Structure 1
Amino acid sequence: MSDYYVPRGGLPPQTALTTDRARFTEAYAVIPARTLSDITASFLPGWVNTRLWVLARPLSGFAETFSQYVVEVSPGGGSDRTEPDPEAEGVLFVVDGSLTLTVDGGEHALGPGSYAFLPPGTSWTIANETGATATFHWIRKAYQRVEGLEVPPAFVTREQDVTPADMPGTGGAWSTTRFVDVADLRHDMHVNIVNFRPGASIPFPETHVMEHGLYVLEGKAVYLLNEDWVEVEAGDFMWLRAFCPQACYAGGPGPFRYLLYKDVNRHVSL
């Protein structure tokens, strides 16, 4: 079982250098781990004993399809008024602590590695009934309905119960943990975990229509973003506009892994 990076807030000391790896360009953005501090946290109506960091939101002329939060729920915290948009689908991925998720009346105990898909219109609540803080990622997207395709049902699983699929010709050096069947066209987004052994790489600049959110769960790498090679490590977030070239070299000494969002399986809106 791998470790997941968990932000703890706080502030850098006054002795820290201001120089950082934070970048915002017309093609991509990098939000380093230390940016998730006390002064960048947000709060939401309907949530108690909870704060969050907004990593991505739709912006005119930039990324357009999703939002991503890192949500920290203190003991006794949570919400019974979670998703305000009836057309929004969501994925929850737990990186720390224990939570109780109620979906359409059924309860699920969530721990590190737990993954929940929540289709639009789902009634769900979440609560921290323990004495320790819990943290999860919440990725949201406006679901694109298609005539003849049913909306996929809610489900809960764990990374530990999903076997990673090796990328062709890599011998397992590069693999993807997929929580949804790629042939299931009911889904218009995938949230996967991408895994690299030390020294493995994406050996060509991927350039494609899907936009990405990449949160580094573990390890470090040198990542190609458009024309720039950028060092990234656990806790960093990368936001890639559609057609932004990307590639990477995993730096070791341990695995390099990230939680990946991408939009899929729908016609281009004109």
Structure 2
Amino acid sequence: MTTYTYATPPGGLPPQSQLLSGRAVFTEAYAVIPRGTMTDIVLIALPFWGNTKTWVLSRPMTGFSESFSHYVMEVAPGGGSGQPETNPDAESVLFVTKGELWLNLDGDIHRMGPGGYAFLAPGADWTIENQGDTPAFFHWIRKRYDKVEGIDCPASFVTNERDHPPHPMPNTNDAWRTTRFVDPLDTAHDMHVTIVALEPGASIPFLETHVMEHGLYVLQGKGVYRLNKDWVEVEAGDYMWLRAFCPQACYAGGDEPFRYLLYKDVNRHMPLNL
């Protein structure tokens, strides 16, 4: 049976003896934010959150990636929020990587552990708290929902990765798989957050070049990614942020699955500025 692990930010600060070197890069087509940059010095505070650390990995930026933001949150025991979302048009996905969180969604309590996944529709009534005795970590991906007349907004739901068998990609002998939490053809959803897994030695063997923006957080393992014109080594805890049409491909390395949490915007017409 495959054992899944989930990377979390290191936090803290590096020692003064550490050399000034690293793998962080920001280009016109992509950014790589290594796990070593996710220290306490780059934290922000959010309104109405207590005993919580927030790392912002991506945000809408004109001329780059414009559709979403991606946070990693560390919630200390007793921490959380009774008013987590301040934008009524925002939809969210929460994905827990360590510890436990108590999500109150429309009056129902969901105890979420590692692999826990929640889709929160715009306007959803939710709060979240760490009632345990150890810190809890989760990803929070936010997007302004793109409403379409005649299509109902999707409903909120809570689930776990283990309840969704991965879909093998065609002709890959199960070496490249995708865990999907919603039907990709359901046009009520305008974003997908999935988990992609490649076995050691497997690859995405062509340069995908497409309209979707991407955020990729490496949950487990390591690999070599082709981003635009460059080959970049990434490992568990690293983040890749891609604008639309950035060419991308990869090889999985190491002796365990290479897995990442993937965001992309989907199922909508391209906006036209007339």
Global fold match (TM > 0.5): yes
Q: Does residue 51 of the first structure (1) align with residue 53 of the second (2)?
A: yes
Structure 1 residue 90: Cα displacement: 0.1
**Residue number in structure 2 paired with 1:187:** 189
Summarize deviations over 1:31-55 as a string: whole Å, max 9, x none.
0001000101111110011111000
CA RMSD of aligned residues (A): 0.6
Structure 1 residue 15: Cα displacement: 2.2
Which of 137, 145, 148 pairs up with 2:147?
A: 145
**Residue number in structure 2 paired with 1:64:** 66
Rounded to whole Å, the distance in 1 between the matches of 2:270 and 2:127 is 33
> What secondary structure, in the 3-state scheme, does the structure 1 residue paired with 2:79 have?
strand
**Residue number in structure 2 paired with 1:220:** 222
Rounded to whole Å, the distance in 2 between the matches of 1:186 and 1:228 is 36
**Residue number in structure 1 paired with 2:238:** 236
Structure 1 residue 105: Cα displacement: 0.8
**Which residues of 2 match residues 80-229 of structure 1 at below 5 A?**
80-229=82-231
Which of 242, 248, 251 pairs up with 1:249?
A: 251
Rounded to whole Å, the distance in 1 between the matches of 2:47 and 2:266 is 31
**Alignment gaps of 5+ in structure 1:** none
**Alignment gaps of 5+ in structure 2:** none
> What secondary structure, in the 3-state scheme, does the structure 1 residue paired with 2:74 have?
strand
> What secondary structure, in the 3-state scheme, does the structure 1 residue paired with 2:143 have?
strand
Q: Which amino acid aligns with 2:251?
A: Y
Rounded to whole Å, the distance in 2 between the matches of 1:20 and 1:82 is 33
TM-score (normalised: structure 2): 0.98
Counterpart contact for 1:197–1:252, Cα < 8 Å? no
Aligned length: 270
Q: Which amino acid aligns with 2:169?
A: M
Rounded to whole Å, the distance in 1 between the matches of 2:61 and 2:234 is 23
Structure 1 residue 8: Cα displacement: 2.9
TM-score (normalised: structure 1): 0.99
Counterpart contact for 2:226–2:250, Cα < 8 Å? yes
Rounded to whole Å, the distance in 1 between the matches of 2:121 and 2:19 is 43
Summarize deviations over 1:86-127 as a string: whole Å, max 9, x none.
000000000000110011111100000000000100010000
> What secondary structure, in the 3-state scheme, does the structure 2 residue paired with 1:160 have?
helix
Rounded to whole Å, the distance in 1 between the matches of 2:169 and 2:20 is 39
Rounded to whole Å, the distance in 2 between the matches of 1:217 and 1:224 is 18
User: Where does structure 1 differ by over 4 angstroms across 4 or more consecutive aligned residues?
Assistant: none
Rounded to whole Å, the distance in 1 between the matches of 2:10 and 2:200 is 26
Summarize deviations over 1:141-166 as a string: whole Å, max 9, x none.
00000111100000000001100000
Structure 1 residue 12: Cα displacement: 1.6
Summarize deviations over 1:1-37 as a string: whole Å, max 9, x none.
4010011301122222212110000000000001000
6-15 or 258-267: bigger deviation: 6-15
Rounded to whole Å, the distance in 1 between the matches of 2:179 and 2:14 is 34
Structure 1 residue 238: Cα displacement: 0.3
**Residue number in structure 2 paired with 1:268:** 270
